Amino acid sequence: MFFKSAVLYLSVAGVGAVEEKIKLFTPATKVIDYAALSYDKTIVTSLLYAETDESFDSALSVYMSGGNSKSMAELTVKGGLPVAIPKLTKLTAKGMDGRDVTGVAETDYAVGDSVIHFLYPVKDSLEDPSDCRVGGLPKSRQVTNGCLVESGKVFIHNVDDPISYEYKVDENNINGRTVADLSTLAHSRMRPSPDADFFQVFQPFVDYYGTADYAHEIINAAFHDGSTHFLNGNFRDYLSDTAYEARLEIIDKGIAILSAGMYALKQLEEAVYNCDQKCKDGDCSDTTTALHALDIGVALYVGASDNLFFDAANRQCAHFATCHGDNPSEGVAHVNSKIFIHFMQMQSFLQQGKCDDARPLVNSIASQMWVPLIQGILRYSWILTDQNPDSLITSKAHQASGATYAAAILPMIHQCNPEPANLIHENMKIRNTNVNVDFKAVREALEGCYEHLGVTCDDVGGLVSGISDEGVVKYHELTQPCDHITPAEASGSKSTPSKKSSSGRKTFGYILLVIILAGGCRYMFYRKKQLEKSSRNEAKFDPNTPEQPLDKAELA
C-alpha cells in the first residue's frame, strides 16, 4: 500500500510511536518530515517579497526542488555495488560535523548499481527536523552540518565491508518531497491505486479543470507570468504583464489553499480507504497505515511553520467575526476548532477499526474547509466592488487573491450549479483593466450553494466593518451574516438547532473536548484556550490593513 514503506521506515529507524503534537493532535506515527514541507513555503514567500526576476527564479527553485522534506544524498558508488541493498536498509557514514550519520536506503538497489540514495534521518523536532537541508534552497538557508562528507565510506547493515562513494554537498543533496509534488504528482497520488478512480473529494476538481495538476498549473503560470489552459475557471491571458505583488499572492495562497489544502483532504480519504482495506477480512488490529495517512493530513493542514490551510482559515476569521473565543475577530478560526475535533474523532475511530464511523468525518472536515474559501471570495469581492461605501485603493494583488480563493472552490460550486460558478469566475478573474465586482451577485451565487457544500450562514459570518469600544461587531448593510441556511439544512451537518449565535460559538469553545481512544481508558481533555495559545499566527481584525501572506518580520 502507499504508506507501507513509510511505516516500515519508522521501525527501521527505531522511532517511537508517539509524535510531537500538532496543535491539539498527537500523531500516532512520525510525520515531522511532512510538516517540514511548510518551511519550503516560508522560504518561497520570503524570496518572492524581493519582487525581482532573480528572486522569483530562486523561489521557483525551492518550490520545485525543495530543501526541507525527505532529504537524501545521491551518492556515486565507486566500482558499483558489490551487494544488493533492499529498500530501507540501514546505512551509516560520516557527517560534515564529524559524527556518524545513520539513514536508510531510499529504494531497492541491485548489484552493480553505481548510484544510491542515502535517506537522511529525521529528528524529533518540528522546529529543527533535519541536519541536512540543501535541495533548491538558497545558500543562506541551507543546513549542511549533518550532510555526509563529500568522499568516504558507507557501512551497510549486516554487510562486513563498507562501500566507497563520492558526491557534491551542494549539488547532490536532493529532496524526495517538494511543494510542487503536492500537485504535479496528483494524477497518481490522488487515487488509491493506479487503476482506481480519483478520491471522491478530488473528482469534482478534475472534472472542472480537466487536469489533476491544476494547482501546479496555476502556481507555475504565476511564476512564469503565463496563463492556464483549463476546461473551466481559466487564468488564461489574465496573468500576462501581471505585477510581482499579484503573482506573489497567487503563489503564496495557491500553495496553502490549492495544493496543501487539497492534499490534506486527500489524506483523510486515504486514511478511510486504508482502514477499509485492512478491515475487509474482519481483522482491524493493525490500522497503522490508516493512522499514518491521517497524521500526514493533519501535518499538511497546519505545517511546521503554521502557514498552510490552518493559517488561511485564521486570517479570514478575523474579518468575519468567526474566530474562537471571547473576541470573535481575534485568534483561532472556529472552523479550525471544529476540524481538530474531527481529526481526533477520526483518529479514535481508525484506532478501533471503525472505518464506517470515520468516513462521514471526511465530508464534515471538507465542509468546514470550504468556509474560509467562501470568506476569501466575499472579502475580496467587497474590496473590488463599487457597492462598498468605503473608498478603497485596489490593486492587481486584490484581484489575484480573490481569484485564488475562487479557484480553490469553483469546482464545488460548479458541481452544485454551473451558472453561479461561471458568475463567480467572471467576477473574480484577474483582468488587465480596472475591475468592478458585483458583490451582491457573487454573494447570492455562493449562498445558493451553501446547502450543497454543507456550510451554514453562521459558519461564514459577515464581513466586519468595525468593532465598537464595547466590543460590538459592526457590519455594512450588504455584508451582514445571512440567516437562511441553518445547520439542519446544510448537507454536511447533523446539527438540529435552527441557528447558532456568536454566544453559542463561545459556549462551544468552553466545552471539554472528550475523545475516547481505542483500547479502553485513554481520554483527551482540551479547552479552547489551548488551541488559541498554540497558534503562532493569531489573526487580529483591522479593516484598513490589506492581507499579507506572511508577516515580513517572521521572514527575517
**How much of the chain exceeds pLDDT 90, in percent?**
69
Backbone angles phi, psi at 46, to 5 degrees: -65, -35
Task: Output phi, psi for 120, to 5 deg.
Answer: -70, 150
Give mean pLDDT, residues 40-45: 98
| Residue the block writes with cell 485564521 | 314
* Beta-strand relationship, 173-175 and 90-94: unpaired
Q: According to the model, what pLDDT value does residue 239 have?
A: 59
Supply the pLDDT for residue 393.
73
Q: Is it the case that residue 423 has pLDDT exceeding 50?
A: yes
Q: H helices of 49-85, where? A: 53-65
Report the C-alpha gap between 319 and 473 in whole angstroms: 10
pLDDT(183) > 70:
yes
Q: Could you tell me which of 318, 328, 313, 311 has the C-alpha nearest to residue 505?
A: 328
Determine contact, residues 459/339, Cβ cutoff 8 Å.
Answer: no
Interatomic CA distance for residues 298 and 496, integer angstroms: 28
- Chain segment 256-298, per-residue pLDDT in tens: 999 999 999 999 999 999 999 988 777 788 889 999 999 999 9
Nearest-Å Rg of the Cα atoms of the chain is 24
Mean pLDDT along residues 128-145: 97
Which stretches of 280-395 are DSSP H helices? 288-302, 309-320, 334-351, 355-383
- pLDDT of 17 > 60? The answer is no
Instruction: Give all strands (DSSP E) within 84-215, no chain letters.
Output: 90-94, 100-105, 115-119, 151-156, 163-166, 173-175
pTM: 0.85
Q: Give the Cα separation of 323 and 317 in Å (integer).
A: 5
Determine the pLDDT at residue 11.
Answer: 33
In whole angstroms, give the CA distance from residue 345 to residue 351. 10
- Answer whether residue 420 shows pLDDT above 50: yes
Q: How far apart are CA 513 and CA 330, in angstroms?
A: 21
User: pLDDT-derived band of residue 7, with 50, 70 and 90 as boundaries?
Assistant: very low
- Please determine, for residue 497, whether its predicted confidence score (pLDDT) is greater than 50: no
Instruction: Name the 3-class secondary structure at 547.
Output: coil
pLDDT over 70, % of the chain: 82
Question: What average pLDDT is seen over the chain?
Answer: 85
The reported pLDDT for the residue numbered 240 is 58
By the 8 A CB rule, do 178 and 65 touch? Answer: yes
State the cell numbers at 389: 461605501
Across 305-315, average pLDDT:
96
Q: How far apart are CA 48 and CA 36, in angstroms?
A: 20
Contacts of 336 (CB under 8 A, 6+ apart): 310, 313, 314, 324, 531
- Residue 5 pLDDT > 50, yes or no? no
Residue 225 in this model has a pLDDT that exceeds 60: yes
What single-letter amino acid sits at 317?
C
- Of 19-33, 103-117, 126-140, least confident by mean pLDDT is 19-33
Distance CA 316, CA 313 (A): 5
Query: What per-residue confidence (pLDDT) applies to 514?
Result: 34
Query: Which positions ≥6 away from 34 have C-beta within 8 Å?
Result: 69, 177, 295, 296, 299, 300
Of 139 and 512, which is predicted with more confidence? Answer: 139
Residue 190 in this model has a pLDDT that exceeds 80: yes
Q: Which of 181-190, 358-367, 484-493 has the lowest mean pLDDT?
A: 484-493
The CA–CA distances, whole Å, from 458 to 6, 450, 465, 482, 502 equal: 40, 11, 17, 8, 8
Question: What is residue 542's predicted lDDT score, i.e. its pLDDT?
Answer: 45
Q: What is the pLDDT of residue 241?
A: 58
- Give the mean pLDDT of 315-336: 91
Question: What whole-number distance in Å separates Cα of residue 3 and Cα of residue 27?
Answer: 15
Q: What is the mean pLDDT of the segment spanning 224-242?
A: 78
Pairing outcome for strands 151-156 and 90-94: antiparallel
Handedness of CA 79, 83, 87, 91 (dihedral sign): negative
Helical pair 214-223 and 53-65, crossing angle rounded to 10 deg: 150
Alpha helices (H) along 408-467: 410-416, 418-428, 439-447, 450-453, 457-460
pLDDT higher than 50, residue 509: no
If one counts every other C-beta atom within 10 angstroms of the C-beta of residue 2, the result is 16
436-491 pLDDT, tens digit each: 899 999 999 999 999 999 999 999 999 998 888 777 889 988 999 998 766 655 65
Helix axes 334-351, 261-279, angle to 10 degrees: 20
